Every structure is written in C-alpha cells, then in structure tokens.
C-alpha cells in the first residue's frame, strides 16, 4: 500500500478542512430548509437514484467529498422542513448530529466496557434518568439498542425467559407448550415479527379487540386469555401500546397492569413512539401506569429529536435485562446477578454498536431537559388544534380525536361519491408528495383509506397545517 495514500486518508489537516466544509454545507442546508425553501422530498423513482449514484469507484483518490455530499443533501428527504408531517421520524437537533460524527470517529464499540468506557457509563446513567422520567422504581435498568423493533424482541425474550416455565433458550420453542402474548389489534408489526423470530408461529400473538378510538379494550382481556388457553396456548404477557403506530392511540395501561398482576403475566409497554409523553407535564397522564410495566421500549429517535437509532429497553427489575440473552434457565434468576452490567453486549442483540448514549446524554446536558418536554407539549398541542380545525371544516373528516401528535383524516369535498373517496385520498397524497410541497402518509382504518400526519417537527406551525389543507383542496 502506498504510504502517501494512507497518509492522505488519515491526514488531520485534510480532515479539519473537509469537516469545516461539511458543517458549512449542512448549516446552509438547514437554514434553507427551515425557511421552507426547496422540496420536502425531492421525489424520484428508485431507478433514477440508482443511476445517479453508480458504483464506479476509481482506484486512485480523485473524489470530491463536498460535491458528492452536495448531491446527497439535495436528493435526500428533508426532515427539518416544517412541512414534513409524515412518518414518525424526527428532525434531529443539529447538536445530536455532531455527536454522531464524534461517535463515528472515536468508534467506541462498547460491547465490552473497555471498548467504550465513557459511552457505557453514559448509557447506564441516561437509562436510569429515562426510567426515572417514567416513574419506574430505583432498581430499573436496561440497555440501548438499534430501534424499537430490536427493542421489542429484546423485551419479549426476557419475558419468555421469566414466564415460559421451561427453558426455551436452550431447549428451543418446542421444549414446552406453545407460547403467546396478548396484543391489541393495533399493535406494531415488530411484535408479531419478534414472536415469529422466537419460533411461536402465527398464533404467537393473540389479538385483543380495540374500541372506537383504537385503544385496547381491557374488559375483553379475560375472554381472550381464556380462549387462548382453550386453544392450547400458554399466554405469558400482554403488550400494550403507548402510542400505536397508525393512530397514536394510548392503551389503558393501569387496567392492563392490574390484569397482568392478577394473572401473573409479564406487562410490556411498546412506548417506541409515545413513552416520551412522560416528559410533558401537560400530557404525562396519558402514560399513567407505565411505571408498573415489567419492560418498556422507548425510541429517543422519535419524539426526542434524536437521529436514528437510539432505543431504550427498560426493565422494572433491572437484572431481568440479563435474561433476554441469558444462557441459563429462568429458575436461576435470583434478582441478583454477578455478571458485569458494564459489558453491555451480554444484554443486547448487538455485539458492536455505536456510542449510542452520547447524542442523548450530550443533548440533555447541553440543551437542558425543558426543550424536550416543551417539544412534546407543543407538537401535541398543535395536533389537537389541527384536529379541531379539521372537525370544524365541512370538507374534511377526522378519524379519531388524537391522543398525541398523530392525526388521521380524509378530504371529503362536496360531490365526490363515498365509493370514490379512498381513491381520492391516494391520489391527493401522491400529488402533494411528488410535488415536494408536503410529506404525509396514508393508512387504512376500518377498511377505508385515511391521510395520516405525524407532527413531529417542533418547527411546524398552524400556518403550515392550514397550507396543507389548502393544498389538498386545490389538488382535489
Ligand atoms: C416506530 C415503532 C416501532 C418500531 O420502532 P423502530 O425504531 O422503527 O424499529 C415499534 N412500535 C411502535 C409503536 C412504533 O411506533
């Protein structure tokens, strides 16, 4: 290998120059986007982008990072645009991006303590802080992992180890009766994916009916439990949503906690989207009962303005965290564990991971906690006002009053027959998204198509949402 190539690739002064250019580029992009200039999503079909970024790599250094990144920024989806109101993906606070940058250079993988001494300590303390925000007891502990989907799997593995009554980890899924977990019909697909990964098949989730607002109906739990048992399944847990994905519905956590206590079931809360609600003094009543959960999943990359990925899996009894990937039968669980908590990979799906806690720890340290509380409160308030305007308008229909920052609705202009309304929503969304003026998504509720918005960017205003309704009227 040529030593000059190597020296250039690691040259600190070259790095300094490029880094300054990159920050300038991103700051300019941010400024434009916040002024609502340019498209939200510069829509292009997949084949076009495949052509734009071919794998025609030179043998010798010849590339220009600034030019390449300029094309990346231009072609990417602009989540900081206040008219981005689509999926539950945040507009990260820029400070957090700087931390990811530092994490990539330091590359402290933290599978074992010695490979990430600072990030391991930050992870430990940030998790204890999060458990405290939720009101979980002193002994609550957990891990950070790569997303809510991996988080639900991690929590359900611990639930299985605790409640299956046989050693499924070593003996396999067929070493005992077939297991199942009770979930609201509105549960996120990652829950049934997790039970399928564990080898429980399609009946590994048992659906519990929801009410007209898509919240789990607690009075249905007894019958669903009995029916699952009659069908030869051993139910081990109930999974409640604190913020369902489609409508943002919060299940009645207190009632589910009571039910789990009565029947000796594990109580898991999928709070990937909505656990952040606990930060807001105005809205924290929505997650009352979350502190009684055996395990909670909480994505900081949704309502906490963090870039992907940073998900907390919290266990009320901290040492349950060791059970997820334990190699020992659950009867050995004593509540005490002598394995070192600081070798994090003992308790995570990942072996190597990024310095996950750094961005959240630094953002909380530098920006303060109030910013995060205010962001939840203001996006929820804005969503409520948006829903009120939809209800007041004669040509829009609101699916359900929002529990959080997810609002589902449809445009119902006069003269359009009911049979054509589904197709109209699809066309309207396509028109707005491909024009780049707004980004919103759609969902199916009760067999009908609805437009779906997540007001997740704290810089979105009432004016942006009024403009959205006007754009929909024009497109129709
Ligand atoms: C987003 C979401 C998930 C999945 O989380 P990822 O971080 O995207 O893997 C799981 N459950 C709910 C309720 C969610 O909203």
Exposed/middle/buried for 135, CB within 10 Å: 0-12, 13-18, 19+?
A: middle
How far does residue 305's CA lie from ligand 1's centre (Å)? 15
Q: At what angle do helices 370-392 and 462-475 cross, to 10 degrees?
A: 40
| Domain end residue (candidates: 308, 338, 367) | 367
Model confidence at 339: pLDDT above 90: no
- CA proximity to 251, closest of 282, 281, 209, 223: 209
Task: Grade residue 61 by pLDDT with cuts at 50, 70 and 90.
Answer: confident
| Domain end residue (candidates: 345, 367, 389) | 367
Q: Is residue 14 in some structural domain?
A: no
pLDDT digits (tens, 9 = 90+) for 23-55: 999 999 999 999 999 999 999 999 999 999 999
Q: What's the N-to-C CA distance of the chain in angstroms?
A: 62
Q: Is residue 362 in some structural domain?
A: yes
Q: Is residue 109 in some structural domain?
A: yes
How far does residue 139's CA lie from ligand 1's centre (Å)? 26
Q: What residue numbers bound the domain in which 69 lies?
A: 22-86+368-476
Closest approach atom of ligand 1 to CA 241: 13
**Domain match, 56 and 178 both:** no
Q: What's the Cα-to-Cα distance from 440 to each of 91, 323, 378, 422, 454, rounded to whole Å?
A: 15, 40, 19, 16, 8
pLDDT of residue 340: 80
What is the distance between the alpha carbons of residues 86 and 115, in angstroms, rounded to a whole number? 38
pLDDT digits (tens, 9 = 90+) for 420-431: 999 999 999 999
pTM of the model: 0.96
Model confidence at 330: pLDDT above 60: no
How far does residue 100's CA lie from ligand 1's centre (Å)? 21
The mean pLDDT of 223-233, rounded to a whole number, is: 97
Q: Is residue 272 in some structural domain?
A: yes
- CA proximity to 315, closest of 453, 141, 463, 131: 141
The mean pLDDT of 241-261, rounded to a whole number, is: 97
How far does residue 231's CA lie from ligand 1's centre (Å)? 30
What is the distance between the alpha carbons of residues 80 and 26, in angstroms, rounded to a whole number? 12
Residue 79: CATH number of its domain: 3.90.1150.170
Choice from 190, 277, 300 to test ligand 1 binding pocket (greatest atom count within 8 A of CB): 190
Closest approach atom of ligand 1 to CA 88: 1
Q: Is residue 10 in some structural domain?
A: no
Q: Is residue 194 in some structural domain?
A: yes
Model confidence at 103: pLDDT above 90: yes
How far does residue 360's CA lie from ligand 1's centre (Å)? 18
What is the distance between the alpha carbons of residues 372 and 414, in angstroms, rounded to a whole number? 41
**Domain match, 46 and 130 both:** no
What angle (nearest 5°) sits at the alpha carbon of residue 321, between those of residues 302 and 253?
55
Closest approach atom of ligand 1 to CA 271: 13
What angle (nearest 5°) sits at the alpha carbon of residue 150, between those of residues 277 and 265?
70
Closest approach atom of ligand 1 to CA 299: 7
How far does residue 56's CA lie from ligand 1's centre (Å)? 36
Percent of the chain exceeding pLDDT 70 equals 97
Task: Judge whether 389 and 468 are in contact, CB under 8 Å.
Answer: no
Q: Is residue 6 in some structural domain?
A: no
pLDDT of residue 213: 96
Peptide bond into 128 cis (omega under 30): no
How far does residue 155's CA lie from ligand 1's centre (Å)? 13
Q: Is residue 9 in some structural domain?
A: no
**Domain match, 217 and 296 both:** yes
**Domain match, 351 and 402 both:** no
pLDDT digits (tens, 9 = 90+) for 146-179: 999 999 999 999 999 999 999 999 999 999 999 9
| Domain end residue (candidates: 367, 383, 400) | 367
Residue ranges lining ligand 1, Cβ < 6 Å = 88, 147-149, 188, 190, 241, 243-245, 270, 272-273, 299, 311
**Domain match, 252 and 342 both:** yes
Q: Which helix (H) or strand (E) holds 269?
A: strand 266-270
pLDDT of residue 391: 97
**Domain match, 354 and 265 both:** yes
Residue 290: CATH number of its domain: 3.40.640.10
What is the distance between the alpha carbons of residues 82 and 35, in angstroms, rounded to a whole number? 9
Closest approach atom of ligand 1 to CA 309: 7
How far does residue 245's CA lie from ligand 1's centre (Å)? 7
- CA proximity to 198, closest of 242, 144, 237, 228: 237
Nearest-CA residue for ligand 1 atom 5 is 148
Choice from 248, 299, 349 to test ligand 1 binding pocket (greatest atom count within 8 A of CB): 299
Overall domain count for the chain? 2
Task: Grade residue 465 by pLDDT with cuts at 50, 70 and 90.
Answer: very high
**Domain match, 328 and 464 both:** no
Task: Judge whether 249 and 136 are in contact, CB under 8 Å.
Answer: no
**Domain match, 55 and 126 both:** no
**Domain match, 353 and 392 both:** no
**Domain match, 437 and 394 both:** yes
**Domain match, 62 and 109 both:** no
Choice from 147, 195, 295 to test ligand 1 binding pocket (greatest atom count within 8 A of CB): 147
Give the phi and the psi of residue 143 in degrees, each rounded to 5.
-140, 160
pLDDT of residue 3: 84
Q: At what angle do helices 462-475 and 421-435 cross, to 10 degrees?
A: 120
Task: Grade residue 62 by pLDDT with cuts at 50, 70 and 90.
Answer: confident
Nearest-CA residue for ligand 1 atom 4 is 148
Beta-carbon contacts of 129 under 8 Å, excluding residues fewer than 6 positions away, are 364
**Domain match, 236 and 313 both:** yes
Closest approach atom of ligand 1 to CA 301: 7
């Amino acid at each position: 290998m040529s030593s000059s190539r190597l020296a250039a690739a690691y040259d600190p002064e070259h790095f300094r120059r490029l880094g300054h250019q990159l920050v300038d580029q991103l700051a300019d992009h941010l400024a434009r986007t916040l002024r609502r200039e340019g498209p939200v999503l510069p829509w292009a079909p997949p084949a076009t982008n495949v052509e734009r970024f071919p794998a025609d790599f030179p043998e010798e250094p010849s590339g220009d990072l600034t030019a390449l990144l300029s094309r990346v920024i231009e072609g990417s989806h602009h989540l900081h645009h206040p008219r981005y109101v689509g999926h539950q993906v945040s507009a990260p606070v820029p400070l957090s991006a700087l931390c990811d940058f530092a994490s990539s250079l330091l590359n402290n993988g933290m599978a074992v303590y010695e490979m990430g001494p600072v990030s391991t300590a930050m992870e430990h303390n940030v998790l204890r802080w999060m458990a405290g925000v939720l009101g979980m007891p002193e002994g609550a502990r957990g891990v950070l992992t790569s997303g809510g989907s991996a988080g639900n799997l991690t929590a359900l593995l611990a639930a299985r180890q605790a409640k299956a009554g046989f050693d499924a980890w070593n003996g396999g899924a067929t070493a005992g009766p077939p297991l199942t977990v009770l979930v609201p019909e509105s549960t996120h697909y990652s829950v049934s994916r997790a039970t399928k990964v564990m080898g429980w098949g399609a009946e590994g989730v048992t659906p519990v009916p929801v009410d007209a607002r898509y919240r789990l109906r607690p009075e249905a739990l007894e019958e669903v439990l009995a029916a699952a048992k009659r069908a030869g399944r051993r139910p081990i847990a109930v999974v409640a949503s604190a913020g369902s994905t489609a409508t943002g519905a919060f299940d009645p956590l207190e009632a589910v906690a009571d039910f789990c206590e009565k029947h000796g079931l594990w109580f898991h809360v999928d709070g990937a989207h909505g656990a952040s609600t606990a930060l807001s003094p105005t809205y924290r009543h929505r997650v009352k009962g979350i502190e009684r959960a055996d395990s909670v999943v909480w994505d900081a990359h949704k309502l906490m303005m963090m870039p992907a990925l940073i998900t907390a899996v919290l266990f009320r009894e901290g040492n349950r965290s060791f059970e997820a990937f334990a190699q020992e039968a659950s009867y050995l669980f004593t509540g005490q564990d002598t394995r070192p908590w600081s070798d994090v990979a003992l308790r995570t799906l990942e072996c190597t991971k990024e310095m996950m806690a750094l961005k959240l720890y630094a953002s909380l340290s530098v920006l303060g906690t109030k910013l995060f509380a205010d962001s939840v409160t203001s996006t929820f308030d804005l969503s409520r006002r948006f829903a009120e305007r939809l209800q007041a308008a004669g040509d829009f229909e609101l699916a359900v009053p929002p529990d959080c920052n997810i609002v589902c609705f449809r445009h119902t202009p006069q003269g359009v027959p009911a049979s054509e309304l589904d197709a109209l929503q699809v066309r309207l969304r396509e028109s707005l998204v491909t024009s780049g003026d707004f980004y919103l998504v759609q969902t199916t509720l009760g067999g009908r198509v609805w437009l779906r918005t997540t007001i997740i960017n704290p810089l979105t205003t009432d004016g942006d949402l009024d403009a959205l309704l006007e754009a929909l009227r024009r497109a129709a």
